Amino acid sequence: MQNPFEQPIGKKRAQLKKYVVHSRSIANRLWGNEDTTDPQKIAIAMWLKAVESCEATDVLGSRQMYGAAWANLRVAYECLFYACAILKNPENAEKLASHHIFQVAKLFKDQINDKSKANNQTVEQKAEIAHYEKYIKAHPNWPAADAAKAADMFEQYSDFFRTISQLGAHANISSLDQHLTATKDRLMIRGGRSEDRDSQINMAILCLALGLERLEAATMPTGKIKPESPAE
């Protein structure tokens, strides 16, 4: 793969498209292969979500909607970490399932608490809260940082994931500085810095390259499914 940082934007977009097409092709071949395990299928599904988010980053960036593009790119890296953690250790699929149960139980518990004050809860509401608290305690959360560590990708988490949050993916002061400009009469969305577009495409290409490398290494060591390199 050519270094994405040294290509003009048109070639970067073409490279991104090739990796998107290749990612979908390999995912479909693996999904239908009898040797693909259930944890690997979960990783593949998570990987395809990352691929879609990389595509969305490009589309939104092409319309100068850089804040929304950063948010999608953050999702792409989050999915990358979970997918690669499961590919490295299939038992991590159970941690992802636990993470899901934790989040859903916490949601239901918070919804009940939001509808009633603690000193004015019915017996039924208290029983429901206790029920969901059992699930929360029994199913540990598994945040993206822990998944990145499990995938040996904490460097990417620190360098990209957290940086993306500051550049516009989260509701924080730095993202306001990046994407808004004020005049005497009005506040305008200015789309972000001109270099955001290049950075987003660079990071999207690297996300896809990292994921493909891990996917092929984990699922094709026996040669039963031959890897295919995207055309240059």
pLDDT digits (tens, 9 = 90+) for 16-68: 999 999 999 999 999 988 889 999 999 999 999 999 999 999 999 888 888 88
Averaged over 160-186, what is the pLDDT?
A: 71
pTM of the model: 0.81
Buried b (16+ CB within 10 A) or exposed e, 17-38: ebbbebbeebbebbeeeeebee
pLDDT confidence of residue 112? 80
pLDDT confidence of residue 162? 79
pLDDT confidence of residue 174? 67
pLDDT confidence of residue 217? 87
Strand, coil or helix: 75: helix
Q: Is the pLDDT of residue 226 over 80?
A: no
Confidence of residue 187 (pLDDT cuts 50, 70, 90): low
pLDDT digits (tens, 9 = 90+) for 123-150: 787 788 888 888 788 788 889 999 999 9
Say if CB 61 and CB 197 are below 8 A apart: yes
* Tally of CA atoms within 13 A in the half-sphere of 115 that contains its CB: 12
| Higher-confidence position of 201 and 124 | 201
pLDDT over 90, % of the chain: 40
Q: Is the pLDDT of residue 218 over 80?
A: yes
Say if CB 67 and CB 178 are below 8 A apart: yes
pLDDT digits (tens, 9 = 90+) for 44-57: 999 999 999 999 99
d(CA 167, CA 196): 9
